[in-house]
Structure 1
């Protein structure tokens, strides 16, 4: 009898690639801070990176739907190997920008493939929909924690290690995924733990395709807005902490609070699924956005920096959970397309957030700038939620 499992090897792949993704992103932001970039200049680098990420998502992100997810992942891993070689020499402003674009293309194209592969394969196994998205987000968010925590430290102490890891991971990924495709085809083969097959009552909202499409659009917009805070924190905290007198090499151990916040949110929302289709609870959970700004205003020491980062993680993970759930599970046979659109939103917010945030930080100062940023975004988020719910009420009354 085959052993039942909760996670499988493609969750592990998502974890490993996420470690590398955040090692590279923290290398870019930490090196920019070390080279003396302003907050706005750091934001511009992230904007360029995010445009590359978003363009790769919408152009290459759904290639796996047509040519096979595993074959596409294997090919992309070869590309990452080449990019990692280039990264060994990306230690000046020009090289840093080029490297940011090249690695952004890979991650923008990669994550829709693994999202689509997991969603397609696990839907065929009839796994509970929130468990499909929940376990995937747990896998990559755990990897993010490691990447963010150690990225600045390695950037200062041993930057070559970051790129050697990239070479090893990309080479092994290309080989092992290619072999897996030859053996099992373009689906994931595993025996799921029986609890994963028990569908929650609230997951019945999946059967209402019109409601799912509305919720998908609503929370993709809110994800973009809420994620602006999170991405600003990740991009600007290394420089902000340097200005506060903290060592750059230790910045990651405080900034990682954001990724711990992401992981905690995913664990809680995976265990408690009352949020599915419940707009009232979703609105309460979104209150983490204004709370982040209030905490940030009082961030003067390492503990408050960590708490600010922690709540910034909440502002991203809450709407992310909603958006990926309604996105990947709202259209049958379009897992790759929905994954690509989802990653496009992610890519754009990782550029717009640091740029707008950086401009505010330069003009108002880090603490006050983040407070103004968070409160402004909160107003827009709740306005959007009210407008979407009002439109639904109007439709229901018209029937």
Structure 2
């Protein structure tokens, strides 16, 4: 296992657990405080704006000042955020906490993305293996965070912040020591399998096609992610309204993160989708399927299955976007990572906000159905544009 993953994958895994412990704390606490769907969407929108802003400002500073040095400083900041979280009791305090934690995660993930991409590319690791192993590390962490976040919020919320205090202090110390010992690179001896190319290199070497695919799937990632983020934010209240216990909500919502993980495993082991727009279009059918399934989300199993497909809706275009986005020149890794995280940050706010408006307007599940089907129409329109009109424009 040590020849395939290294300690910065473990760091990504650990921070992702904390990210989803915090996000489920925010959404579950909002449900407990009787926020409307629109108000839940607003608090997520504010936090995501900060996340996106941090991504495109602080997010690529690691390239200039050192990824490890920047991460050490960010963990010192997370220590403060975790202390503050222990005192959150009111809607205003919850909103401020959402802002503070959004700034950390928006700044952190581009650093670890850039460090991994920079270091592993110099070791000759196959680019899909770079992105694939990174996405598996954080998606596994998400499953744990989402599963236990609502339960801990209702029963033992202080544990969420104690974990944050331990993670931030230990990480700051260990990264600082590693930076002094190894410099701003990851010391890692990869397995031979990681250096084998398993994709159509002629597509990746076509710079014009890569720019087209990168832009196309960043837009589609944003659209597909709107469904996923709306489910993540609004399901605690939907579950509560269905008469189910809020402390068990994580065991249903985690279906979304299991869907993300399963998609990453499949699409990283099978590369038939690379450059094949017909297969990509077929895979994107999980978005309208989520809308259809949402009709039946009234009891535990349908809630879990709807969440599972919402995870597919996010992970399919995410895999496409990060593959094409991070397959770039070494000096662009930090920039591409920051742009990628900016998109992620925006959809984690816009999705819950628009979803909240529709769920309030159509009284819950019907709003989610309308939302998913409208987004599906937009996704296929975007794909049609890029494969017909955009190509023609580029050739003229």
TM range (shorter): over 0.9
Asked whether the equivalents of residues 6 and 196 of structure 1 are also in contact (C-alpha less than 8 Å), the reply is: yes
Are positions 1:192 and 2:181 aligned together? Answer: no
Shift of 1:276: 1.2
CA distance in 2, matches of 1:43, 1:395: 38
CA displacement, residues 361-395 of structure 1 (integer Å, 9 cap, x when unaligned) = 01102211111101100111001001101145426
**Where does residue 88 of structure 1 map in the other structure?**
86
**Where does residue 52 of structure 1 map in the other structure?**
50
CA distance 1:157–1:27, change in 2 (3 Å): same
**Where does residue 117 of structure 1 map in the other structure?**
115
Asked whether the equivalents of residues 213 and 330 of structure 1 are also in contact (C-alpha less than 8 Å), the reply is: no
Asked whether the equivalents of residues 199 and 274 of structure 2 are also in contact (C-alpha less than 8 Å), the reply is: no
* SS of alignment partner, residue 113 of structure 1: helix
* TM-score w.r.t. length of structure 2: 0.98
Q: Number of residue pairs matched?
A: 396
**Where does residue 133 of structure 1 map in the other structure?**
131
CA displacement, residues 279-321 of structure 1 (integer Å, 9 cap, x when unaligned) = 1111110000000000011122100000000000000000000
Deviates more, 1:52-61 or 1:360-369: 360-369
* SS of alignment partner, residue 334 of structure 1: helix
Are positions 1:70 and 2:63 aligned together? Answer: no
Asked whether the equivalents of residues 212 and 330 of structure 1 are also in contact (C-alpha less than 8 Å), the reply is: no
* TM-score w.r.t. length of structure 1: 0.97
**Where does residue 363 of structure 1 map in the other structure?**
361
CA distance in 1, matches of 2:130, 2:67: 17
CA displacement, residues 187-240 of structure 1 (integer Å, 9 cap, x when unaligned) = 111111111111014244221121111111110100000000000000000000
CA distance in 2, matches of 1:233, 1:221: 19
CA displacement, residues 31-55 of structure 1 (integer Å, 9 cap, x when unaligned) = 0000110000000000000001000
Asked whether the equivalents of residues 240 and 246 of structure 2 are also in contact (C-alpha less than 8 Å), the reply is: yes
CA distance in 2, matches of 1:130, 1:282: 16
**Where does residue 232 of structure 1 map in the other structure?**
230
Are positions 1:250 and 2:248 aligned together? Answer: yes
Structure 1: stretches of 5+ with no match in the other structure: none
Alignment of 1:284-299 (within 5 A): 284-299=282-297
CA distance in 2, matches of 1:213, 1:230: 26
**Where does residue 386 of structure 1 map in the other structure?**
384
CA distance in 2, matches of 1:186, 1:264: 32
Alignment of 1:1-399 (within 5 A): 5-391=3-389, 393-394=391-392, 398=396
Shift of 1:331: 3.6
Shift of 1:145: 0.3
CA distance in 1, matches of 2:118, 2:330: 9
Shift of 1:4: 6.1
CA distance in 1, matches of 2:25, 2:2: 39
Structure 2: stretches of 5+ with no match in the other structure: none
CA distance in 2, matches of 1:32, 1:202: 47
CA distance in 1, matches of 2:215, 2:159: 41
* SS of alignment partner, residue 256 of structure 1: helix
CA displacement, residues 338-357 of structure 1 (integer Å, 9 cap, x when unaligned) = 10010000000000000110
CA distance in 2, matches of 1:359, 1:106: 27
RMSD: 1.2
CA distance in 2, matches of 1:75, 1:332: 24
Asked whether the equivalents of residues 62 and 336 of structure 1 are also in contact (C-alpha less than 8 Å), the reply is: yes
